[in-house]
Amino acid sequence: MDDKASNQARLDDRKREALERCSSGKVQMVDFKFTDLPGSLQHITYPAHRMCEELLQEGVGFDGSSIRGFAQINESDMLLKPDITTAVMDPACKIPTLSVVCDVQDPVSGERYPRDPRFIAQKAEEYLRSTGIADTAYIGPELEFFVFDSVRFEQGQQYGFYYLDSDEGIWNSGNHVNGVNHGHRPRTKEGYFPVPPTDSLQDFRSQCVLNLKSAGIECEVHHHEVATGGQCEIGMRFQHLSKMADQVMLYKYVLKNTARAAGKTLTFMPKPLFGDNGTGMHVHQSLSKDGQNVFYDPEGYALLSETAMYYIGGLLEHSPALLALTSPSTNSYRRLVPGFEAPVNIAYSQRNRSAAVRVPVYSRSPRSKRIEYRPPDSTSNPYLAFSAMLMAGLDGIKRKIHPGEPHDMDLFELPREERAKIRTVPGSLEEALEALEADHDFLLQGGVFTKDLIDTWIEYKRRKENDYVRLRPHPSEFYLYFDT
């Protein structure tokens, strides 16, 4: 049986299994999920008795004009085409619910909708195969997050505030509830790897891992992160690009709902706390051809092949533009600040975490050789971010963009004149959007991204997000200037 026939057989088996679940009563609801352009999960739910071969074939209708970044009102009718291979029992629902990821389709033309983020990721994988460089892009993101006990925020014409709290936060060391204070809290920038009771979220993370496993997501590790106040990380096993993007969306959904069930709230916001570490999404990447890692060379720098070096060259070359897709919020640039151990230097190194590209050296195994791109965060749409990084790397390979010499020294200890020679990432969302406007041809190769999608992204980010923040007084400005 050839690969095509084998894939069809697996598809038929998954379809039959899903339909049997629905008809047997084991499933009572079916939830059809998809992702809007900015990167938020959306859904519509049908009773399980409506799940049938005809529905899977024809799709589920919805109003595309009500989805951010999608259709205009005069072209609002759209279809969700369920990808039955993604069907899992939804761990966040008390009513037995089958969760299915969908592709978006134009009902008139029958074609895939060009602004569907999942379509971009699938096209990126097709383009990779067409180049002959490799047949598979493996992606392993590290999503960090904060778990708080409460959050309040509001923005009005004449006021604005936010207030976060976590019993684990070091700021609560002098407080007490009914005379009780357990006293074990990670100090600022000392949250990396303490055991309970200082790490108060051990069982919470373990429950998250179990819930992710029930949703078909394999996790490899979980731990407390550097910041006080509940910063954590749960590591997923690497997957090919589009499947990992699916998993990131499901991962965020499962973790937020697990937190809610525990009476807590969870955020992937890059910089919720002042004066402590921000939250990133470091993205490990490698390319494989015929089962062989094309990034590995036993004689290369940090065991990297020439292909991998050119891939790094592409990432560094296009970093200013990439950040408009991989770090696409105004809050991203509260984290990406020079001088604070953030990955702001457009350079590469083995082990150096202040460089935009790090080469992990934990293992000498050919299978594990990869590079890590460190500026991204989880405000990105993973379908777009992973695709954009792949396209930048492939452009580097095709054009043989060498990244130059590695920067293995402590970049913060360099003399000022030497530091000035190293490019840094954009300092604001507006700078990143301007870079994307000037440099996006690499994304258009193979029709992976479209000019319409890039223009829509820039317009949305600039008008709906950047201007929303830019035009409002900041609380710190009252502290600095009210008595002028």
Q: Where are the beta strands (DSSP E) in 211-328?
A: 219-224, 231-236, 239-240, 265-267, 281-289, 292-293
251: region left, alpha or beta (phi > 0 left; psi from -120 to 50 alpha): alpha
Q: Which of 83, 90, 144, 317 is catalytic?
A: 144
Query: Is 374 among the catalytic positions?
Result: yes
Q: Which member of 374, 377, 440, 465 is catalytic?
A: 374
The reply to whether 431 belongs to the active site is no
User: Active-site residue 372, yes or no?
Assistant: yes
> How many Å is the Cα radius of gyration of the chain?
23
Other CB atoms within a 10 A radius of the CB of residue 3 amount to 7
Whether 144 is a known active-site residue: answer: yes
Catalytic residue among 36, 199, 297, 372: 372
Could you say which of 142, 168, 199, 465 is catalytic? 142
Point out the catalytic residue in the list 63, 77, 218, 459: 63
- Known catalytic membership, residue 50: no
Going by their DSSP bridges, the two strands 219-224 and 239-240 should be labelled as unpaired
Q: Is 225 a catalytic residue?
A: yes
Query: Cis ω on the peptide bond leading into residue 406 (within 30° of 0)?
Result: no
Q: How far apart are CA 233 and CA 210, in angstroms?
A: 15
**Number of neighbours of residue 24 by Cβ within 10 angstroms:** 9
**Catalytic option among 353, 367, 470, 472:** 353
Catalytic residue, chosen from 115, 282, 284, 335, is 282
Residues 98, 87 contacting (CB under 8 angstroms): yes
**Nearest one of 457, 384, 377 to 121, comparing CA atoms:** 384
CA distance 412 to 301: 23
Whether 405 sits among the annotated catalytic residues: the reply is no
d(CA 263, CA 241): 33
State yes or no: is 63 an active-site residue.
Answer: yes
What the block records as the tokens of 305 is 């092949």
* Active-site residue set: 63, 142, 144, 225, 233, 282, 353, 372, 374
